[in-house]
Structure 1
Amino acid sequence: MPRLGELEAAIMEVLWSAPGQATVRDVLGALDREPAPAYTTVMTVLDNLHRKGTVTRERAGRAWAYRPAQSREEFDAEAMAAVLESSSDRSATLLRFIGKIGPEELARLREVLDAQEGSR
């Protein structure tokens, strides 16, 4: 799974926050960046995200309307799995990750693991 560049990530944040589909103009209007990128730049980034399978699109009149291909949580989980899979020492990477999460997330992780263990 490819990582997102800075503008790609900003555009995906807009799409994940949108209540439905968004056109290039919608995305451009919602981006909070100075200076604002050009319309054609946003259009190119959305086209690239579509080719990568990160967004889907359908015609909305003469324009394309975009939406994320998966939820933010699904995307993040796949990114985390890809990092773990690419590691030369998965156990060490996993332990380092666990060492960096806060106590609340660690407690939630324990709950999820306990629930999974109980369902087996």
Structure 2
Amino acid sequence: MRRLGELEAEIMDRLWTWGHPATVREIVDDLNRTRPVAYTTVMTVADILHTKGMLRREKSGRAWLYDPICSRESYTAALMRDALGENPNPSGALVRLVEQMSPDEVAALRRALRAAGSRSER
């Protein structure tokens, strides 16, 4: 999975955070609180995200409502999986990653590994 561009990531972040479908107008209005961005630019990027399979859209009156197809966690996991798959030494990359993690992150990883292990034992 390809990493999102800056505006793509900002749009997805808002939709993931909000947890409900939104129109381009809602996204533009929120983005414009921190930086100017044109409606047509956001509309184009939302359409690109739809074409890439990141957003679903449904007509609501004259506007489209956009909603993420995958969760933030699923997107992040796919990026990490791709990065490991591209590395000729995935074990070494995992060791380096864990070395850079905080104790809380390591604890979360341990919990995730236990949870995944218990699911695979079923």
TM-score, L = length of structure 1: 0.90
- Matches of 1:59 and 1:118, distance apart in 2: 42
- 1:16-31 correspondence to structure 2 within 5 Å: 16-31=16-31
CA distance in 2, matches of 1:116, 1:15: 27
Task: Give the aligned partner of residue 13 of structure 1.
Answer: 13
Task: Report how far residue 117 of structure 1 moved.
Answer: 4.1
Secondary structure of 1:70's aligned partner: coil
The CA deviation at 1:67 is 0.6
TM-score by length of 2: 0.88
Corresponding residue number in structure 1 for 2:93: 93
Partner of 2:20, secondary structure, is coil
The residue aligned with 1:33 is 34
CA shift at 1:115, angstroms? Answer: 4.5
Superposed CA RMSD in Å reads: 1.6
Q: Percent identity?
A: 45
What CA deviation, in whole Å up to 9, does each residue of 1:17-65 have, x standing for no partner?
224110100110111432x110000001000001110111010111111
User: Residues 76-110 of structure 1, C-alpha deviation per residue, up to 9 Å, x if partnerless?
Assistant: 11111111111121111111111111111112222
Please state whether the residue corresponding to 2:56 is helix, strand or coil: strand
Greater shift after overlay, 73-82 or 36-45?
A: 73-82
Structure 1 residues not aligned, in runs of 5+: none
**Partner secondary structure for residue 9 of structure 1:** helix
Superposed, which structure 2 residues align to 1:55-94 within 5 Å? 55-94=55-94
Is 2:45 the partner of 1:45?
Answer: yes
Q: What is the number of equivalent residue pairs in this alignment?
A: 119
Question: Gapped runs of 5+ residues in structure 2?
Answer: none
2:102 counterpart letter in structure 1: G
